[in-house]
């Protein structure tokens, strides 16, 4: 019974992906169950399309930048939340955990539009604003991953030991906390990259024509040939799968 449910669910999950792969290699797909003919031209077209190449690069830049910003902010943030939570209840920690669920990207996006479409802060449509938006959106995910690991590791006893050996708070943080968090930091950052690359709602509201991200451009593809749209989606899929696979491999090792 469970087995059959799993199989049905697996088909439900994998069928659209399989169809995308089939569609991306099919020559023509109109009014038939499956496409006819075999071709690689959609991928060639995609490669030769400057707007897609540009969007792909933009997506990578945004994701990488979000990772760097998050790494710099989330480690100290999670650390202080971990220590603060033990003293003053865990309200701050709960807010951080609930943020990605409680605040939809569209809310965040509209907020940005209102604030950054003014004369004092006319940064709507710029790449830095997009990067910041992605960083804000993905920060809770990384912070949560780090917080879970901090609670699991019980670093306080190691910090105490380090302190008696002469480590200042800063030394404890750099030589004990950060090295012990490296596994969850890496897996958290891969997750940040995956979310950022696949993110659509926020990017669609905040990008200008110049710096559209891959998912935003991908939407345009669906107004054109089916095969081209499929190929463009498969590229995004491969990228997301690679991230997810890397994240789970790192998580397993830790």
**For another protein, which is the closer residue by CB, 67 or 162?**
162
Q: Are 183 and 251 in contact (CB under 8 A)?
A: yes
User: Minimal distance in Å, beta carbon 157 to another protein?
Assistant: 5
Instruction: Identify the three-state secondary structure at position 25.
Output: helix
**For another protein, which is the closer residue by CB, 48 or 168?**
168
**For another protein, which is the closer residue by CB, 220 or 254?**
254
Instruction: Identify the three-state secondary structure at position 26.
Output: strand
**For another protein, which is the closer residue by CB, 108 or 177?**
177
Closest alpha carbon to 243 in 198, 188, 184, 191: 191
User: Minimal distance in Å, beta carbon 164 to another protein?
Assistant: 4
User: Minimal distance in Å, beta carbon 192 to another protein?
Assistant: 23
Distances (CA, A) of 143 to 100, 149, 181, 230: 11, 10, 11, 34
User: Minimal distance in Å, beta carbon 90 to another protein?
Assistant: 18
Q: Where on the chain is the footprint of another protein (CB under 8 A)?
A: 157-158, 160-168, 171, 175-176, 179-180, 182
d(CA 95, CA 97): 5
Q: Which two tokens stand for residue 102?
A: 């409680």
Q: Which two tokens stand for residue 27?
A: 């020559």
């Amino acid at each position: 019974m469970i087995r059959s449910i799993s199989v049905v669910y697996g088909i439900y999950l994998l069928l659209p992906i399989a169809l995308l792969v089939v569609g991306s290699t099919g020559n023509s797909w109109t009014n038939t169950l499956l496409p006819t003919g075999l071709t690689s031209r959609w991928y060639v077209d995609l490669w030769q399309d400057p707007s897609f190449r540009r969007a792909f690069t933009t997506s990578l830049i945004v994701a990488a930048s979000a990772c760097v910003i998050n790494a710099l902010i989330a480690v100290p943030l999670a650390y202080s939340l971990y220590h603060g939570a033990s003293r003053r209840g865990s309200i701050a920690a709960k807010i951080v955990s609930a943020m990605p669920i409680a605040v939809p990207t569209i809310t965040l996006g509209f907020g940005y539009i209102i604030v950054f479409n003014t004369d004092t802060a006319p940064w709507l449509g710029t790449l830095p604003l997009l990067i910041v938006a992605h960083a804000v959106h993905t920060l809770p995910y990384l912070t949560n991953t780090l917080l879970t690991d901090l609670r699991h590791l019980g670093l306080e006893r190691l910090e105490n030991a380090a302190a008696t050996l002469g480590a200042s708070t800063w030394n404890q943080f750099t030589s004990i906390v950060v090295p012990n968090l490296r596994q969850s930091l890496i897996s958290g950052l891969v997750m940040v990259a995956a979310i950022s690359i696949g993110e659509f709602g926020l990017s669609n509201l905040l990008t200008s024509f110049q710096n559209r991200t891959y998912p935003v451009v991908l939407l345009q593809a669906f107004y054109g040939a089916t095969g081209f749209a499929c190929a463009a989606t498969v590229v995004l899929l491969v990228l997301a799968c690679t991230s997810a696979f890397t994240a789970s491999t790192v998580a397993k090792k830790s």
